[in-house]
Amino acid sequence: MSEHYHDHADLRLLKEMKALAPAEFEAWAGLDGIVGRTDGKIPRKYRELMAVAVACTTQCPYCLEVHAGAARRAGATREELVESALIAAALRAGGGATHGAMALKFFDAAVKSGE
């Protein structure tokens, strides 16, 4: 269903990765189970919306596809999905501003040291 610049056939490489590093692959794959938990204190819908927001910042199209669908199935609305994405975008922009301030600090330190 998805149409993005990643080739869906690339997913078959995950099977190869699993064969090449099975313990590490299983540990990594198990992390996604945290999102889908139904026995946690955070309801499933919000867990999936959080996953969508994180996927927006990490820019993982596969995660976006999986968790956007899971959010819908958990009862999220289109409006909630978009708000989650825009909250993520706002926080990601904060990182740029913070790193800009750090760059200014390093620039000023270079001036003070005579570099």
- CA-nearest of 28, 29, 74 to 52 is 74
User: Which pLDDT value is given to residue 36?
Assistant: 86
Q: What is the pLDDT of residue 4?
A: 58
Q: How far apart are CA 54 and CA 48, in angstroms?
A: 10
DSSP state of 84: H
The reported pLDDT for the residue numbered 67 is 95
pTM above 0.85, yes or no: no
Amino acid at 39: D
Q: Is the sign of the CA dihedral 27, 54, 58, 5 positive or negative? A: positive
Q: Which residues of the chain have pLDDT under 50?
A: none
Fold of 40-113: AhpD-like (1.20.1290)
The whole-number pLDDT of residue 101 equals: 94
Unique residue bearing structure tokens 């149409």:
3
- In sequence order, the 6+-apart residues with CB closer than 8 A to the CB of 66 are none
Between CA 55 and CA 32 the distance in angstroms is: 12
Show Cβ contacts of residue 52 under 8 Å, excluding neighbours closer than 6 positions: 64, 67, 68, 71, 81, 84, 85, 88
Amino acid identity, residue 80?
E
